[in-house]
Amino acid sequence: MCGIVAYIGHRNAKPILMEGLKRLEYRGYDSAGMAILEGTTGRLRTDRAVGRVAMLEEKLEGRQEFEGTLGVAHTRWATHGGVTEANAHPHRDDRHGLVLIHNGIIENYAALKTYLQEKGHRFTSETDTEVLAMLISELYEGDLESAVQGALREVTGAYAIAVICEKEPDTLVVARKGSPLMVGIGQGEYVVASDASAIVAHTTQAFALDDYNVVKLTRSSLSTSDIHNTPVTPKVTQLEIDLQEIELGGYTHFMLKEIFEQPKALRACVSGRLDIREGRVVLGGLAAYAKELTKTRRIVLTAQGTALHAAMIGRYMIEDLAKVPAQTEYASEFRYRNPVIEEGTVVIAVSQSGETADTLAALHEARERGALALGVINVVGSTIARDTDAGVYLRVGPEIGVASTKAFTGQVTALSMITLFLARKRLMSADQCADLMRELDQVPDKIQRILDQAQRIARITERYIERENWLFLGRGYNYPTALEGALKLKEISYIHAEGMPAAEMKHGPIALINEGMPAVFIANRGRQYDKVMSNIQEVRSRGGHVIAVATEGDEQIARLAQDVIYVPDVAEPISPLLTVVPLQLMAYYAAVARGHDVDKPRNLAKSVTVE
């Protein structure tokens, strides 16, 4: 959720921290703050601002006291306490000149706050973060690392923190449990951040902290331990992110860029993995578990939000093509309802970031009960990727826009390949597998044909942007696509939208339809095409305006729908990869037309690292 960045080295910290905040702003943008140890006086200078990072940048412009080579900065997604300057990070203690930034939630903060108040500490915010800062202060006896370790032994919850203190001007201490944190290693300097986007401009050597890791950084050294001061050896890796991938590159918004990147992204996703000549899928990450997967009795796909919609499509494919019983689960519910995990169960965690707290917790619960755990993840080296037995990386590149687009199609593509990998080993012939792989291999070119219609889709969308209630309807494989279309519209245009199976409409929601209400039907050619046409008639007869996503060459639907967006023909199991693209564009153009910030929708953040 929140974005944290810290620096210690030989350069002026302020521009590095400010650049890092801008890179991380997609993680939260309610407020922002910075603290720097001033080089001339050795005092900590702190300032905060409500609103976007630009508001903080404006406040700090020209401020000479914010010159120093050690500092921390934070962009907030509010959890504890309202969006106020007092609740913004960094938070200071009241005794030792100590400041802390934090991503996560301290669950036992109330009891700790009472204890600290009894010890005479005075609080100025409503946040759990200030409690942690005061706890470290209470335990401080001249060794910041030791005080941090002691404090973290007393807290429950999730945290990624960075702490500096006036009394130790050559020390930065960072730690992590549950919330992501990376240390970038440069020449005589270190950059710490929530993810690689704030590091890659300065170094490509980095390591991710594991749970309970505490890292002490000075300008000349690095040491890693756990909260009990047991030494830990970090695994330094080469960052695989390209700086150009996280730049706008001429696009107005990251979301639009990422929608248009989908042909390239999906080519990268399938590259080297489709052996069409032999009729087999090559997934090196799953090869060691091929026997267990072949014998599996049940597959559970768990995720949240957009990833859950991809998982639902994966479930349809697994049951349809591989003939394995499958189900999808909200990760947030799976963990807490005492799920039944019998022998032979495989659990697949689907997450773009690989850090989604609910999905990670569900994964741990499944593994604890004996399930084989797989991941469908985009971010290499993320927590879920490290905590699974095996998995498939999406390889679609960084996704900055809060509303996920290319990660969704990457997830569906990866799940398609997992399905074919499984189906081929169980019952599918080489010819059948090769046919579907050819279809999958052609998807990028077919998506490009849809993107070529972008301006026409924009004009259609603009006709309906004043309507505050929309329906998205589909059947079979495209019921989850309808859910995803509705979610995209809600996320960035703030239009109320409901996605549902088309047949479910007449069991209650049909009462919502009034004159001119937009009803988006995914009506591509498939096994339930005729049923969808009947559902369109039901909406038309009640005054609803039908926007249909249909298969090229379908003239019948043009007589029923007010507007038709055509997509190329494709095998039904992978049709969501095409039908979702017009829905992504509609959501984007609706948000732009209504004057909203597409990449930073209100109340949302990219990576949900709290439960």
Say if residue 90 is preceded by a cis peptide, omega within 30 of 0.
yes
User: Are 161 and 2 contacting, i.e. CB atoms less than 8 angstroms apart?
Assistant: no
Cα dist from 202 to 73, 174, 217, whole Å: 16, 19, 17
Indicate the angle between helix axes 128-139 and 144-152, nearest 10 degrees: 130
Q: CA 214, CA 211: separation in Å to the nearest integer?
A: 9
Alpha helices per DSSP H over 201-261: 254-260
Q: How many residues does the chain have?
A: 611
Q: Helix (H, G, I), strand (E, B), or coil: what is residue 82?
A: coil
Can you spell out the DSSP letters for 586-597?
A: HHHHHHHHTT--
Q: What single-letter amino acid sits at 361?
A: A
Residue 215: count other Cβ atoms within 10 Å of its Cβ. Answer: 24
Q: What's the CA gap between 33 and 21, in Å, rounded?
A: 9
Contact 399, 405 (CB under 8 A): yes
Cis amide linkage into residue 325, ω under 30° from 0: no
Q: Compute the distance between CA of residue 383 and CA of residue 16 in angstroms, rounded to an integer.
A: 26
Return the amino acid letter for 431: D
Taking the C-alpha atoms of 475, 480, 481 and 483 in order, what is their torsion angle to the nearest 10 degrees?
A: 110
Distance CA 392, CA 269 (A): 10
User: Could you tell me if 75 and 580 are in contact, meaning their C-beta atoms sit under 8 angstroms apart?
Assistant: no
The DSSP symbol for 231 reads B
Q: Give the CA count within 13 Å in the CB-facing half-sphere of 496.
A: 4
Token pair of 189 as six digits: 């300097």
**Secondary structure (3-state) at 75:** strand
Q: Of 2, 165, 269, 433, which is the active-site residue? A: 2
Can you say whether residue 54 is alpha, beta or left, with left for phi > 0 and alpha for psi between -120 and 50 degrees? Answer: alpha
Query: How far is it, in rounded angstroms, from Cα 261 to Cα 238?
Result: 24
Q: Is 606 part of the annotated catalytic residue set?
A: yes
- Contact assessment for residue 451 and residue 581, using Cβ atoms and an 8 Å cutoff: yes
Provide the residue type at 221 as one letter: S
Tell me if 183 sits within 8 A of 6, measured CB to CB. Answer: no
Q: Which of 22, 113, 600, 606 is catalytic?
A: 606
The residues annotated as belonging to the active site are: 2, 606
